[in-house]
Amino acid sequence: MSIAAVAATTLVAGAGFVPIASSDASADVYGALGAKWTRTHDGPQKYAGYTAKPDVPIRMSDGTVLRSNVIRPTDRSGKVVDTKLPTIVTMTPYTKMVSALASEVMNYPVLVPQLIDLLNGINARGTFLSGYNELVGALRGGLVNTFAYDPQLVKSGYNIVVVDVRGTGFSQGTWQVFGDRERKDTVEVVDWAKKQSWGNGKVGMSGVSYSAINQLQAAADKPGTLDAIFPVVPGADLIQDVIAPGGGVGFGFLAPWLTLVNVSKMIPNVASMLNGTFDWRWFADRVKDPLTYFDVLIEALTTQSPTSLHGTTRQLVTADSNRRRSLFTDVSKVTTPTFAIGGWNDLFTNSESRLLTGLSQLPSSQKKLIMDDGYHITSSSNFGQKGYPPRIDVLARAWYDKWLKGIDNGVDRYSSATLASEPNGWFVQGQTYPLPGHRYQRQYLSGRSSGTTRTPVAGDGSLSATEPATRATRQVKPGLSTLCSRDSAQAAVGITAMFDFCGKDSRVSEIAAQTFTSAPAKVSTSVSGTPVVHLRQRLTATDGYWHATVNVVSPDGRSTTVSMGQLMVSLRAMDTERSSYGPNGDLTDAIPKLSLSDYQKVKPGQVLDVDIPMTATQAKLRPGDRLRIDVYAFNFPKSVPLGPELWSSQLRPQYIEIDPAHPSWVNVPLSHPLR
């Protein structure tokens, strides 16, 4: 999703980032180094100003011309400096024009800082609109400067090149959405930047979301070419992340996002129209493909049989197809120093949480990960304040200074993992994620009532370390209560999380859920890693769609989702090579194959086990808190069944079979056992 929309959206919407209690945070989260980096970034810079040269053409090897803005520092007279400097490249599908506008607006002296202070002065905390403050907080956390470009970074001695991705903005070609040719473009742009007379050969990359994904791609596609990357909310496995989570269609995000990019790519270069240099090939390319991927989305949602899928749609559900491979990045090939910012409620949590282990060729000094508990467009909300990490633009500057200029500023000694602990947002740090000292434990689902639900639910059951003693059957009907849920807010990139009763409390969505709740925790217990929900289940149709959440329930009854996942029963086959297993054979990180070759419907009434892949989390149960599992039969609008799956499931009720001989459980990585 575009941060282009953030500056405007921020004024009217919010997200769920819970304020940190600084007394529980490590001083190193910000610390003396953070203060030093902030002074360096915000203080006087080497050069007096900067200038932007618009629409600089960069010709690709196939003849397609991409358009870029080249931003370079100037001296006091306004002349571009002749010193050869490192270059930072950003590839964007949201048009470099928007990037330039966002940067200039956010860095307009006096007015914008006062406006941000005014907006932050509206204190909605403690109300049902408290998420407003968290969304506004993204404006001061450095996210917009990282999405666009940071004038302070330029004036400190960097060139910046912002390039419209092929088929978007003012660039020629048709939009590929991370296709093979587009990935090659990114590498060629980096090579071009290395050869420019105003550069010194050192090149890094920056950017948010789409512009973070192609950083990982370029670093993996041509290892060693890039000297530093700073991806903010990046994805590496886009099929699992957002296109087909659990085998459904990621409708809640894909539909508005495709609309945004397809509309923005049609905006013409007005200046070229006025001066007679209009690019008619640009126009012809847009006419060829005005609505990229809408045909694929429509076919995915409406086709009744998997054998009827064709073209790109079929490639997306075919393992090892070229299109499928282009949407996956093997981060184990990356040799470039990488500092990533992610979030437990981000669109790409699935990929972000695996980055530290995935970047296997990098030592801890060259790979860093911060996971906050915000959403896609609120990453870094409140960064820079006491108890939080430094602002994103501050961290980026420190990272580039270290790896592009060789300045020993200590950023390589920052903790590899800096993690917000849900539901309270207290930060913890370590050298790895998951944090050491956690062991997986089964918590079994039982039909016995927990007596903890104070609001209507589809069913109330218990959760404990003891296997159930009696049989029970729980019916789960598809419903729309997940419209008001953390999953829905995640798909909406955080906008709907402005409402506390949706983004921070699951009790509304639990109206359609079978809930299973544990006894209160006796001691403080942390969760670090990826839960897996194992269900003994039965369908009355030939397919079904399970959605589950792991929640922390406070003594006042608030139920906060800390992990979420979904799975189509017909696509239940696991990728055994990529998934992880415990010593007892239990899945500890479930990664489904999600391929047509593994599509297998069931017989109505057949009882079988499924494992639901969940998102990773760092969470904490305080004494008195309870662990809860919610189980649903639908997850609209985040994800809906693929057309053939929808026709097969007929949205019939689904059943959890609680059987002492074949129990259901959630496998949770805990610092202390729960009883």
pLDDT of residue 155 exceeding 80? yes
Q: 618: which 2 tokens?
A: 């760092």
The Cα 252–Cα 302 span in angstroms is 16
Q: Give just the sign of the alpha carbon dihedral 437, 438, 440, 444.
A: positive
Would you state the pLDDT for residue 24?
38
Q: Percent of the chain at pLDDT above 90? A: 83
Would you state the pLDDT for residue 282?
97
The Cα 23–Cα 97 span in angstroms is 43
Would you state the pLDDT for residue 135?
62
Report the SS3 class of residue 287. helix
Give the alpha-carbon dihedral of 389, 391, 395, 401, to 10 degrees. Answer: -140
The Cα 670–Cα 526 span in angstroms is 6
Residue 136's pLDDT band, with cuts at 50, 70 and 90, is: low
Q: Is 581 exposed, middle or buried (0-12, 13-18, 19+ CB in 10 A)?
A: middle
Would you state the pLDDT for residue 429?
95
Cα–Cα nearest to 235, from 226, 244, 227, 225: 244
Would you state the pLDDT for residue 235?
98
- Pairing state between β 85-92 and 159-164: parallel
Would you state the pLDDT for residue 114?
57
Would you state the pLDDT for residue 146?
85
Would you state the pLDDT for residue 498?
67
pLDDT of residue 397 exceeding 70? yes
Residue 70's pLDDT band, with cuts at 50, 70 and 90, is: very high
Would you state the pLDDT for residue 464?
97
Would you state the pLDDT for residue 88?
98
Instruction: For residue 22, give Cα distances in angstroms to 133, 504, 534.
Output: 18, 20, 37
Q: 189: which 2 tokens?
A: 């742009």
pLDDT digits (tens, 9 = 90+) for 520-547: 999 999 999 999 999 999 999 999 999 9
Higher confidence at residue 483 or residue 129? 483
At 564, the amino acid letter reads M
Q: 260: which 2 tokens?
A: 């945004």
Sequence length of the chain is 675
154-158, 268-272, 311-315, 375-379: segment of lowest average pLDDT: 375-379
Q: 339: which 2 tokens?
A: 């500092």
Residue 675's pLDDT band, with cuts at 50, 70 and 90, is: confident
Would you state the pLDDT for residue 124?
56
Strands, DSSP E only, in 142-224? 159-164, 199-208
- Pairing state between β 367-372 and 617-621: unpaired
User: Mean pLDDT across the chain, nearest whole number?
Assistant: 91
pLDDT of residue 125 exceeding 60? no
What is the DSSP code (8-state) at residue 134? H
The b-or-e profile of 296-318 (16+ CB within 10 A means b, else e) is bbebbeebeebeebeebbbbbbe
For 274-284, what is the mean pLDDT? 95
Q: Rounded to the nearest 10 degrees, what angle do helices 210-221 and 180-195 cross at?
A: 80
| Residues 83, 86, 90: CA angle, nearest 5 degrees | 130
Would you state the pLDDT for residue 1?
44
pLDDT digits (tens, 9 = 90+) for 644-667: 999 999 999 999 999 999 999 999
Quick check: 173 and 285 in contact, CB under 8 A? yes
Ramachandran category for residue 660: left, alpha or beta (phi over 0 → left; psi -120 to 50 → alpha): alpha
**Cα-flanking dihedrals φ and ψ of residue 463, to 5°?**
-135, 130
The b-or-e profile of 34-60 (16+ CB within 10 A means b, else e) is bebbbebbeeebebebbebebbbebeb
Collect all residues with Cβ–Cβ distance below 8 Å to 156 and sequence separation of at least 6.
41, 45, 46, 47, 397, 401
Collect all residues with Cβ–Cβ distance below 8 Å to 325 and sequence separation of at least 6.
none
pLDDT of residue 100 exceeding 80? no
Would you state the pLDDT for residue 665?
98
pLDDT of residue 68 exceeding 90? yes
